[in-house]
Amino acid sequence: MLYSPEFTRPTRLQRLQGAQWQVRGIQVFMKREDERDALLGGNKWCKLLGHLEQARADGMQHLVSVGGLWSNHLHALAHAGQRYGFATTGIVRGEAAHITPTLREAQAAGMQLKFVSREEYRQRHEAGWQAQACVALSHARFIPEGGAGEQSLSGLQQMAAEIAGQVSGEAWLAVAVGSGTTLAGLRRALPGNIRVQGFQAFADASVPERIAALAGSEGWQLHETQGMRQHARLPQALADFMQAFSSEENIELDSVYTVRLMARLDEMIRAGDVPDGCRVICLHSGGLQGRRGHSPALAA
Ligand SMILES: Cc1ncc(COP(=O)(O)O)c(C=O)c1O
């Protein structure tokens, strides 16, 4: 196996202490994947694991992927490349003049950056465009946006096995959803006693179909979240929630994904939409580095 022990040592389930998390016998826990690894923690390591192992097995030396100015994925890929001996190239939607601390750190970890227009970026899911992105590079492989694709399933299976070993009886697993890759991979591998609740950070109508293609249509559900149509900004109500959560629970949330998950879950509990006595495990999918994209005051 490519990875070292930090990826096989279980992360903790931390019980939330605030009174609003324990009404009507409900118990809420945070699965602290953010604590697994400072650079690859959250859902990054498990989505990248299979891609890295396959690339290594196929003799690849260079990994190419895409992302935005504050991309958690490119940031993690750059550091994974540095740690495991791959050259990396990040194709970024935007202009070099707008380089962010996220991209500067990716560069410092050895990633070559290539900036493309919005129009060109729209082609990123096309096989021809992906092949073209690798063509001038030696032994290079394209990794889909966010680490999606079949290769993500092996690492997610590993995380699912860890969660299944920590949770017996009926429970909900609450996960933040972007592309839906994490939800689909976990759903596929988790036992039936764990129902997966996805909280969409972005309005993307193709997500349910993509999840169903990988995981079928049973045992999971999607919920809309506050501000999911304006993710470039952090609505004040979410910024306030994030701050209150941090001081009550001593857990930092990221400003795109986990803040929307926890704020919506809080609303659902208050509205009586979470069954009495339910145990809810919330996956902390990391992404704290991206907080700098919203405000220097939120910098991790
Ligand atoms: C911190 C964080 N949480 C959740 C997600 C959503 O993951 P997915 O695209 O697999 O649904 C992402 C995106 O990769 C992320 O960066």
Structural domain spans, the chain: 5-42+150-298, 44-147
pLDDT along the chain (300 residues), means of 10: 74 97 97 94 94 96 96 97 97 91 97 96 96 96 95 95 96 97 97 97 92 96 86 87 97 96 97 97 96 68
- Say yes or no: do domains 5-42+150-298 and 44-147 share a fold: yes
Measured by CA distance, the residue closest to atom 14 of ligand 1 is: 146
pLDDT at 300: 44
| C-alpha distances in Å from residue 280, one per residue of 133, 183, 184, 196 | 42, 15, 18, 10
pTM of the model: 0.95
**CB within 6 Å of ligand 1 — which residues?**
42-43, 72-73, 146, 176-183, 254, 257, 285-287
Residue nearest to atom 1 of ligand 1 (CA): 287
- In this structure, which topology does domain 5-42+150-298 adopt according to CATH? Rossmann fold (3.40.50)
- Three-class DSSP labels, 18-78: CHHHCHHHCEEEEECHHHCCCCCCCCHHHHHHHHHHHHHHCCCCEEEEEECCCCHHHHHHH
Distance 24 CA to ligand 1 centre (A): 30
Contacts of 109 (CB under 8 A, 6+ apart): 78, 79, 81, 82, 88
What pLDDT does residue 232 have?
72
**Ligand 1 centre from 102 Cα, in Å?**
16
CATH 3.40.50.1100 fits 44-147, yes or no: yes
- If one counts every other C-beta atom within 10 angstroms of the C-beta of residue 223, the result is 18
45 near 155, Cβ under 8 Å? Answer: yes
Q: How far is the CA of 186 from the centre of ligand 1 (A)?
A: 13
Distance, in Å, from the CA atom of 200 to the CA atom of 175, rounded to the nearest integer, reads: 9
Nearest to 175 by CA among 229, 223, 232, 226: 223
